[in-house]
Chains A and B, each alone.
Chain A
Amino acid sequence: MLAIDYLDKRLKKKDTVSNGDAVSTDIEISIRNLNVSFPDKDGGEPVNALQNINLDIKQGEFISLLGPSGCGKTTLLRTIADLQQPTSGEISVRGLSPREIRLQKKYGIVFQNPVLYDWRTVRRNVCMPMELMGIPKKDRTARVTKMLELVGLMEFGKKYPHELSGGMQQRVGIARALAIKPEILLMDEPFSALDEFTKEKLHEDLLRIWKKTNKTILFVTHNIQEAVFLSDRVVVLSPHPGRVSAVVDIELERPRSLEIKNTPEFNEMVVKVRKSFESVY
């Protein structure tokens, strides 16, 4: 399915909804004709990291950005997070600019690598964003404990980042982002450094948290199975220049458990997503 098709479908859906206002507030992030290019240092052609991206993300939606290395997944995430400025085009989040949303401290970001502060213990790393948000100390402590429990690092709270393995460090980064209960959670390949067991456990945990909090999650991955298992919709990106080549609705029942991976429906979805790749390459 092409992006345009998706938009058409969405517009058709809109017709069936009686209250127009409800629809407009329903859309959390709206991306219109977005272009991001990086100037070439040697004066050559600029790199088109993203070209003419159009995408609407609904409030409470779990959406994945899927694509091979270098197709602009991180760039798209960073542009939404106001860490990267668009060359042209527009992003609006709840009718505001990414910058305004950032200043309201509504984003939670998990970076591609852990980005921990090496002079802080694990606990104090998870605590850091909450300190900036002015959350009282008592609540912070309780929430840190809860988050560390969630990512399975209860016994490691007093350790320093360099005393942890790479996967454990990444989990600290995840706990840190979740701790502030962000309205919009942006995750850049958060699980790619983890082993299969931890990954599956965190998949389930993430879905549970998501269901409970009803927050919007934008999830970057290059793993088709992961994207299918987690998402409502998978946005397939293709490189050079980075653009949306397909948007696939994942019509699988929720809540999803790991068993779903053995069902023919699941495999069907995986095949469908993979096909949308093949049509590009």
Chain B
Amino acid sequence: MKRIKKFFQSNNLVTLVWGIGLIIVWEIGAFIIEGSKRSPENVLPHLYQIVASVFSDKLVSNNQTAIQIVMSNAGITLFRAGIGFVIGAAVGFLLALMMNLVKGVEKTIFPYLMIIQMIPILGMAPIVLAITKDINKSRIVIAAILTFYPVATNTLAGFKSVDPQKHELMYSIAASKFEIYRKLLIPSSIPYLFTGLKIAAPMAITASILVDTLQGGGGLGCMLSQSLRHAMSIYVFWQIVFVSAIIGILSYYLMSVIEKLVSPYKRAKIKG
């Protein structure tokens, strides 16, 4: 009884209700389109058809099944997004450190950062491409650009929100600037850093997919535009849509897991 009660109170129930609701809406849509006869099944197939296509071993193109194509391209996209993300996170963190460390840097470069952030990805892509002269490098760079801003702003906010008394404690034992950063500012900004990383991770993947659509060279976005042009089974398209959504969500959870690994006191908080 207790467990059931707990379940109904928890977030699981909310997730479950949303999940079921979405499935119902989807299926109603699929039935209506099916009934209209005008549209072929590939506008909005039934969910079971998509699931079946995942397990089907029908070769779609290049001697690969649909799921093989999707997964190998997901790997390519994830790899680029991952490299971009790591670079962007590192740059973002260092930038936050610089802005906090050197007076004036924040005022000087923050407006530029904001402007860079405001350019739409698809507008940025040609510029980056012109600079790097390589579409694959551009994809990495754009993932990095989207990552560094939330990481930099959140980390900087973390540095600034340190309890002044904790700072005074360090000061009273004449801690050096280096020690203050190492033992106080950086550890206490970790939760903020991870807030930034959690925002950035799905964004880096989205950006990577979006820039994929611009040119060839593999990746989920590439396959997405090809599948839309009916170059291959429509189920490839739907599988890409779902796989993209799933890896986006997983990237967020991966950040949460890493956060708990590096900050054990948070784990204790949840248990207690």
Whether A83 contacts B171 by the Cβ 8 Å rule is yes
Closest to A160 in B: B265
Question: Which of B168, B170, B188 has the largest number of chain A CB atoms within 10 A?
Answer: B168
Contact with B along A117-137 (1 / 0, CB 8 A): 111110000001101110000
Whether A115 contacts B172 by the Cβ 8 Å rule is no
Q: Is there a chain B Cβ closer than 8 Å to A146's Cβ?
A: no
Q: Is there a chain B Cβ closer than 8 Å to A163's Cβ?
A: yes
Q: Is there a chain B Cβ closer than 8 Å to A6's Cβ?
A: no
Cα-based distance from A82 to B166 in the complex (angstroms)? 15
Q: Is there a chain B Cβ closer than 8 Å to A261's Cβ?
A: no
Q: A117-B188, A163-B272 are in contact. Are A129 and B173 (CB under 8 A)?
A: yes
Q: Is there a chain B Cβ closer than 8 Å to A180's Cβ?
A: yes
Q: Is there a chain A Cβ closer than 8 Å to B190's Cβ?
A: yes
Whether B263 contacts A133 by the Cβ 8 Å rule is no
Q: A160-B268, A162-B269 are in contact. Are A119 and B263 (CB under 8 A)?
A: yes
Using Cβ atoms and an 8 Å threshold, which residues of chain B touch A83? 168, 171-172
Using Cβ atoms and an 8 Å threshold, which residues of chain A touch B245? none
Which residue of the partner chain, among B166, B169, B268, contacts A163 with CB atoms under 8 Å? B268
Using Cβ atoms and an 8 Å threshold, which residues of chain B touch A17? none
What's the tally of chain A residues with a CB closer than 8 Å to chain B?
Answer: 27
Q: A103-B174, A160-B268 are in contact. Are A131 and B183 (CB under 8 A)?
A: yes
CB-contacts of B131-183 with A (<8 A)? 163, 165-166, 168-175, 179, 183
Q: A102-B172, A109-B172, A163-B272 are in contact. Are A118 and B265 (CB under 8 A)?
A: yes
Number of A-B contacts (CB under 8 A): 62
Closest to A117 in B: B166
Query: What is the minimal beta-carbon distance from A145 to any residue of chain B, in angstroms?
Result: 21
Q: A83-B172, A105-B173, A180-B173 are in contact. Are A115 and B272 (CB under 8 A)?
A: no
Using Cβ atoms and an 8 Å threshold, which residues of chain B touch A109? 169, 172
Cα-based distance from A81 to B173 in the complex (angstroms)? 10
Query: What is the minimal beta-carbon distance from A100 to any residue of chain B, in angstroms?
Result: 10
Q: A117-B166, A160-B265 are in contact. Are A132 and B173 (CB under 8 A)?
A: yes
Cα-based distance from A163 to B271 in the complex (angstroms)? 10
Q: Is there a chain B Cβ closer than 8 Å to A107's Cβ?
A: yes
Cα-based distance from A245 to B272 in the complex (angstroms)? 48
Q: A115-B165, A117-B166, A117-B184 are in contact. Are A105 and B268 (CB under 8 A)?
A: no
Q: Is there a chain A Cβ closer than 8 Å to B248's Cβ?
A: no
Closest to A121 in B: B265
Using Cβ atoms and an 8 Å threshold, which residues of chain B touch A160? 264-265, 268-269
Cα-based distance from A163 to B266 in the complex (angstroms)? 11
**B interface with A by C-beta (< 8 Å):** 163, 165-166, 168-175, 179, 183-184, 187-188, 190, 263-265, 268-269, 272
16 additional contacts (CB under 8 A) given A102-B172, A119-B190: A83-B171, A103-B174, A107-B173, A113-B165, A119-B187, A119-B188, A120-B265, A121-B265, A132-B170, A132-B174, A132-B175, A133-B173, A162-B268, A162-B269, A162-B272, A163-B268
